[in-house]
Structure 1
Amino acid sequence: MIATHPLAPMTADEYRATREAVRAAGLLGETTRFAYVGLEEPPKPDVLAHRDGDPVPRAARAFLIDVHTGQSDDVVVDLTAGRVARRHRLDPRTDGQVPILDEDFAKADELVHADPQWQAAMARRGLTDLSLVRACPLTAGSFGLDGEDGRRMVRVLAFVQEHPKDLAWAHPVDGVVAYVDLIEGAVLSVVDAAGHPVPAETGDYDDPAVRGPERTTLRPIEITQPEGVSFTLDGHRLQWEGWSLRVGFDAREGLVLHQIDVQDRPVVYRASIAEMVVPYGDPAPARFFQTYFDNGEYLIGKFANSLELGCDCLGEIVYLDATVADDHGEPRVIRNAVCIHEEDFGVLWKHTDIFSGSAQTRRQRRLVISFFCTVGNYDYGFYWYLYLDGTIEFEAKLTGVVWTAAHPGPGHPYATEVAPGLAAPAHQHLFSARLDMTVDGTTNAVDEIDVRGLPVGPDNPYGNAIVRDVTRLRRESQADRLAAPEKGRVWRIANPGVRNRLGQETAYVLHPQPGPTLLADGSTTLARRAAFATRHLWVTAYDPAERYPAGDFVNQHPGGAGLPAFRAADRDIDGTDIVLWHTFGPTHFPRPEDWPVMPVERCGFTLRPYGFFDRNPTLDIPAPTAGDHCHAGGRYEH
């Protein structure tokens, strides 16, 4: 299949062509693996200048590693010319490591099971049948520990799975962690700290004895659209009620939305969740290292679920497949990876007028574009919503199984006991949304807006005045900001060159969902590696090479890459092409109610038009018809 647009997702043929170009360049040996392959997107000006029928140059980026020597390369393949156009050899001491491979999990499992130190640690806990012990390889981080500099490593914890349907997370083997060198194929050391008994209570929520009898009181809810959906999908171009965008998918970022326009006016050029860091807050010797960059270290898109109608999505659904590359650079198709559908969302606007007698109600509706992925114990849903009134919203849904350890007893400050002897450590989930803005074009600026009340004075004799303080962020050095819920702080992205009928700059406003930023001490390597998570907002000048908030190679990177490095240029961001980076997410002290499987927790943010339209843009929405049951009837009981 030949791509007809510069931003079309890579096809299976293009993955194969990438592999062939790498082979032809002499970079593909028997022990070479592809840690990542994705579309190398053209610069924004080139894409914006593209017109239907124009030539479509295509390129791919690949991270290669020789699993025998550890040598890693960052290459760009010109798919149009069929050759490697750029190659950069990585220095793991300064550049970090390429992401984890699928085969690394099996390799680490095999190594620890064969290691005498690890076997002895299991035996000291009475675990003699090692076939029941599940090794859990985890990214190693960067802590400056002796002998680790430059090594490609994982750290391996363990859980017991007593039978094939048993929930292994219910039985952590506390206090034991193996440090594994993936290139040497060796267990470097085994930390065997003072441990506690393996928790015994089952967590198998499929077991009727655990979940109890199923409810019989829930009546069916059916969502139907007898005339079909209101959106159209042409390849990956999606149109709905004045909205137009392109739906993309990447192994690292998962769902990516391109060129989001409303009423033929641009709003966002590119929107994605570019990184997510999950730092745990238990300093125990076997757990201090637990911090996961799910995008940059694991590649969340590779773990996308194949969604099922009636389970993951309700109503009239359109699915898109996603194609990613496996460890050998071969294409792998994830069926039904992206779900697209419409949802009723309650009242859009309503008024009963006391003078005219007019009584009007309109229903809100939203278009939903989503995918779900499973990364280890957690499951994440990524949902983008487009609304009839021009609002854009993102929501992450967090579910799955909380991480577990043995609970040492009352007074333990770093975790919650969720079952007898079973602890769930405190942790954070901090997402970074990359929002490449184009509000009415590429000339944008950001205002920070706070609200405050004025004191009693000559102009405010009754003390009821409320004003806004508006501060324009003019340079990158001024634009790493914290949310301030006590001030109602929002950030307005305006186009200084475009005015509405009232003479105001057209704009969208970012409404954050405030919460703690990264809580790790600022002196730590974690704080240097996850510096993006120390602020709720960063604003940078557009640069096509600046894609990831923690840098290109997050795995075992010593820190300082990504947003701190971008910000150091201190470029002008007042009335130019800009990118917003928004950090959000929960700090989670788990509850007993989160065990054995966690009800969804939600977090996200909203982009709302502010002076972008001249008036309410939904005045043309028709009133609900009798068929929609908009009347004063209903069931009455007394």
Structure 2
Amino acid sequence: MSNAHPHPLDPLTADELAAGRAVLETQGLITETTRFPQVLPVEPDKAAVLAGARTDRRIQFTLLDTATGESADAVVSIATGELVSHEKCGEGQPPYLFEEYDLAEAITKASPEWQAAMRRRGLGDRIEHAFCAPLAPGYFGREDETGRVIRSLTFLREDSTDSPWAHPVEGLVAHLDLTEQRVLRVEDEGDTPVPEDSGRYGHHPARTTLKPIEITQPEGPSFQVDGSLVTWEGWQLRVGFNAREGLTLHQLTFQDRSVLYRASVPEMVVPYGDTSIGRFWISYFDAGEYLLGKNGNSLRLGCDCLGVIHYFDAFLADDHGRPVRVPNAICMHEEDYGILWKHTDLDGKAEVRRSRRLVISSISTIGNYDYGFFWYLYLDGTIECEAKATGIVFSGAGEPGSTQPHASEIAPGLFAPVHQHLFCARLDFAVDGQRNSVYEVDAVGIPVGDENPYGNAFTWKATELRTEQEAKRHANPATARVWEVRSTEHTNRLGAPTAYQLVPRPSATLMAQPESSVYQRATFATNHLWVTPYAPGERFPAGDRPNAHPGGAGLPAWTAADRSISDTDVVLWHVFGPTHIPRPEDWPVMPVDYSGFMVRPYGFCDRNPALDLPSAAHGHCEH
């Protein structure tokens, strides 16, 4: 995804990452204890990009001194080789380093208190293969939890190849200070037996009844790729990838007209609903605490992706700030998607056109869970985002056959707590340009009377959302609610504003109570919709550093100003995702749980934009 003259929105290259690090080294900002928990491209000025002006390529390096726990953000200009800024980080902690995962386990296993707890439980002979998970601690304002803190729960393994999630050591929690490399305290409650049911899942005898499905495109795919620029059937966009968000899409146009300037899923929170000492604090921010992109998979043909594939590599910085290549970080291909439109006339003559979609995807693994992010572009101008949650459910132990109010038994003695996966998409709309307004559209029933004499009538109501506070909204399937982004400058042939609709798949918002810590830290997840006027520094809905942050940052802080969102450059933030009450079928590896939303044209086109599709080609359709 690199070339000699990168576009301003292209992902970072290995050479740029190395050059940026060299500037920091020259400035004396790198020592033996300096690490790089986050390295991100600095988004170029939007007005300059839209004007086609040349922009400076810049990188933001977050620097952590592991000896002191102090952190700072440094911005480097690649074009000039200069240090643009260097400021200490504010409240909250940078994301975790990969090396801190191993450090957390080493600190835990070296602890006499942890070893004593294992021996007390009769597990002293199983310490060698124990897995001590490195888990973000949330925020509870405890006096000893200042600085770089992490918690660790213990899981047993038969050997190094065993799945640890099958064998939790219930009620054993180690609280760690990563900077001082010491155990703050160990909590050891109860004597629940460790479940022994196997969690191995990859070596079951394969069924032989499935016949092959072959996907071929003998003339090649219909898309064209030039660096990060993709062109496909009326669509044009740029594909990006960074360490925090992972997959990003830029400057999406349909039929040479702008729809979205930028689209991504910049944050997700996974809050647990269990009150036990080992889980009440769990509320992982998988982007802000762990980094979705840095945990991205290298995708494999025939497994993660099927068909005629184009892969994009990505270049990220490792813990030492040096460039690392992630091969096949993004997969792109076409796939058939059934009927797009069809009609059979009175004389029996049928016209049918098949749909297909362009699929752009990436997958990240954060501990026990795997998340697939799939963006679909359709021939009729529709965009869809789908998140696929799979992997292994987080587990605890209990008495076999018993019931728990906050966890369900999924295998003998193995309990999985209720939890949520709440994603937040950031959609920087540009419907026929940067001047847009947002409306909430509901279907409305009409009382029986003069306007509804037969009782059958209903209509729709469009309400403009004029300020940020008005735009804090919930989905409502009872009224088929959608949110419509209208151009304030362009109309269609009927004289109506050209528009695109955000169509939610309704799901629960944050279930935690307002008094809870996670509510304060993940306030973005309490509404399905937020709308803000575009501001270049407003990128992450829970703030820049949600790790160990007390809360209030991001969307609740920005929208407190109640800025106008009428006739301006608007950003829609949409919360979606499953509320998971685990079931036995989720064990030992979970079938995909799907969630997402759609963005579709509404009066953006003057008629069906897929009328010119050819009928089934090459004789595949029997007449």
TM range (shorter): over 0.9
Q: Deviations over 1:443-469 (max 9, x none)?
A: 011100111211110121101111111
CA distance in 2, matches of 1:79, 1:176: 48
Secondary structure of the equivalent of 1:267?
Answer: strand
Residue in structure 1 matched with residue 10 of structure 2 by the alignment: 8
Secondary structure of the equivalent of 2:469?
Answer: helix
Residue in structure 2 matched with residue 537 of structure 1 by the alignment: 529
CA distance in 2, matches of 1:126, 1:410: 23
Question: What is the Cα deviation at residue 90 of structure 1?
Answer: 2.2
Q: Deviations over 1:65-98 (max 9, x none)?
A: 100001100121111111211122124xxx1001
Residue in structure 1 matched with residue 478 of structure 2 by the alignment: 486
1:40 aligns with 2:42: yes
CA distance in 1, matches of 2:357, 2:98: 37
Secondary structure of the equivalent of 1:246?
Answer: strand
1:362 aligns with 2:361: no
CA distance in 2, matches of 1:206, 1:125: 30
Residue in structure 2 matched with residue 503 of structure 1 by the alignment: 495
Whether the aligned pair in 1 keeps the contact of 2:155 and 2:165 (CA below 8 Å) is yes
Q: Deviations over 1:488-546 (max 9, x none)?
A: 11000110210000001000000001111001111122111100000000000000000
Whether the aligned pair in 1 keeps the contact of 2:144 and 2:184 (CA below 8 Å) is no
1:363 counterpart letter in structure 2: R
Question: What is the Cα deviation at residue 487 of structure 1?
Answer: 1.2
Structure 1 regions of 5+ residues with no counterpart? 633-638
Q: Deviations over 1:566-618 (max 9, x none)?
A: 10121111110010000000000011000000011100000010000000001
Identity of aligned residues (%): 56
Question: What is the Cα deviation at residue 56 of structure 1?
Answer: 4.0
Q: Deviations over 1:282-322 (max 9, x none)?
A: 11012111110000000010111111111111110010101
1:85 aligns with 2:116: no
Residue in structure 1 matched with residue 170 of structure 2 by the alignment: 174
1:522 aligns with 2:521: no
1:145 aligns with 2:137: no
Whether the aligned pair in 2 keeps the contact of 1:108 and 1:180 (CA below 8 Å) is yes
- Matches for 1:59-70 after TM superposition, within 5 Å: 59-70=58-69
Whether the aligned pair in 1 keeps the contact of 2:193 and 2:398 (CA below 8 Å) is no
Question: What is the Cα deviation at residue 21 of structure 1?
Answer: 1.4
Residue in structure 1 matched with residue 27 of structure 2 by the alignment: 25
Among 549, 552, 561, the alignment partner of 1:557 is 549
Question: What is the Cα deviation at residue 203 of structure 1?
Answer: 1.3
Secondary structure of the equivalent of 1:533?
Answer: helix
- Matches for 1:239-250 after TM superposition, within 5 Å: 239-250=231-242
1:265 aligns with 2:257: yes
Residue in structure 2 matched with residue 392 of structure 1 by the alignment: 383
1:287 aligns with 2:279: yes
Question: What is the Cα deviation at residue 17 of structure 1?
Answer: 1.2
Residue in structure 1 matched with residue 179 of structure 2 by the alignment: 183
Secondary structure of the equivalent of 2:158?
Answer: coil
Residue in structure 1 matched with residue 54 of structure 2 by the alignment: 55
CA distance in 1, matches of 2:326, 2:132: 26
CA distance in 1, matches of 2:22, 2:5: 18
- Matches for 1:70-219 after TM superposition, within 5 Å: 70-91=69-90, 95-129=91-125, 130-148=127-145, 150-207=146-203, 211=204, 213-219=205-211
Whether the aligned pair in 2 keeps the contact of 1:4 and 1:56 (CA below 8 Å) is no
Residue in structure 2 matched with residue 636 of structure 1 by the alignment: none
Question: What is the Cα deviation at residue 626 of structure 1?
Answer: 4.6
Residue in structure 2 matched with residue 375 of structure 1 by the alignment: 366
Q: Deviations over 1:7-48 (max 9, x none)?
A: 111010111111111122221111011111111011211111
Question: What is the Cα deviation at residue 125 of structure 1?
Answer: 1.6
Question: What is the Cα deviation at residue 55 of structure 1?
Answer: 3.5
CA distance in 1, matches of 2:77, 2:173: 43
Whether the aligned pair in 1 keeps the contact of 2:195 and 2:397 (CA below 8 Å) is yes
2:339 counterpart letter in structure 1: V
1:8 counterpart letter in structure 2: D
1:187 counterpart letter in structure 2: V
Larger displacement relative to structure 2 (455-464 or 386-395): 455-464
- Matches for 1:272-421 after TM superposition, within 5 Å: 272-354=264-346, 357-408=348-399, 410-421=402-413
2:153 counterpart letter in structure 1: L
Question: What is the Cα deviation at residue 167 of structure 1?
Answer: 1.4
Secondary structure of the equivalent of 1:549?
Answer: coil
Whether the aligned pair in 2 keeps the contact of 1:136 and 1:158 (CA below 8 Å) is yes
Calculate the aligned-residue CA RMSD, in Å. Answer: 1.1
Whether the aligned pair in 2 keeps the contact of 1:25 and 1:83 (CA below 8 Å) is no
Secondary structure of the equivalent of 1:46?
Answer: helix
1:133 counterpart letter in structure 2: A
1:198 counterpart letter in structure 2: V
CA, structure 1 residues 291+195, in 2 after alignment: closer, same or farther (shift >3 Å)?
farther
Question: What is the Cα deviation at residue 357 of structure 1?
Answer: 4.8
CA distance in 1, matches of 2:593, 2:30: 43
CA distance in 2, matches of 1:232, 1:569: 44
CA distance in 1, matches of 2:566, 2:454: 38
Residue in structure 2 matched with residue 635 of structure 1 by the alignment: none
Larger displacement relative to structure 2 (162-171 or 556-565): 162-171
Residue in structure 1 matched with residue 443 of structure 2 by the alignment: 451
Whether the aligned pair in 2 keeps the contact of 1:193 and 1:286 (CA below 8 Å) is no
Whether the aligned pair in 2 keeps the contact of 1:137 and 1:156 (CA below 8 Å) is yes
| TM-score with structure 1 setting the length | 0.96
Whether the aligned pair in 1 keeps the contact of 2:289 and 2:547 (CA below 8 Å) is yes
Question: What is the Cα deviation at residue 104 of structure 1?
Answer: 0.5
Give the length in aligned residue pairs: 619
CA distance in 1, matches of 2:612, 2:429: 27
CA distance in 2, matches of 1:436, 1:31: 38
CA distance in 2, matches of 1:276, 1:39: 20
2:147 counterpart letter in structure 1: R
CA distance in 2, matches of 1:73, 1:195: 44
Question: What is the Cα deviation at residue 132 of structure 1?
Answer: 1.4
Whether the aligned pair in 2 keeps the contact of 1:506 and 1:610 (CA below 8 Å) is yes
CA distance in 1, matches of 2:144, 2:228: 48
Larger displacement relative to structure 2 (15-24 or 96-105): 15-24
CA distance in 1, matches of 2:229, 2:617: 31
Secondary structure of the equivalent of 1:173?
Answer: strand
Whether the aligned pair in 2 keeps the contact of 1:405 and 1:424 (CA below 8 Å) is yes
Whether the aligned pair in 1 keeps the contact of 2:403 and 2:409 (CA below 8 Å) is no
Secondary structure of the equivalent of 1:298?
Answer: coil
1:201 counterpart letter in structure 2: D
CA distance in 2, matches of 1:195, 1:76: 51
1:67 counterpart letter in structure 2: T
Question: What is the Cα deviation at residue 623 of structure 1?
Answer: 0.6
Question: What is the Cα deviation at residue 57 of structure 1?
Answer: 1.4
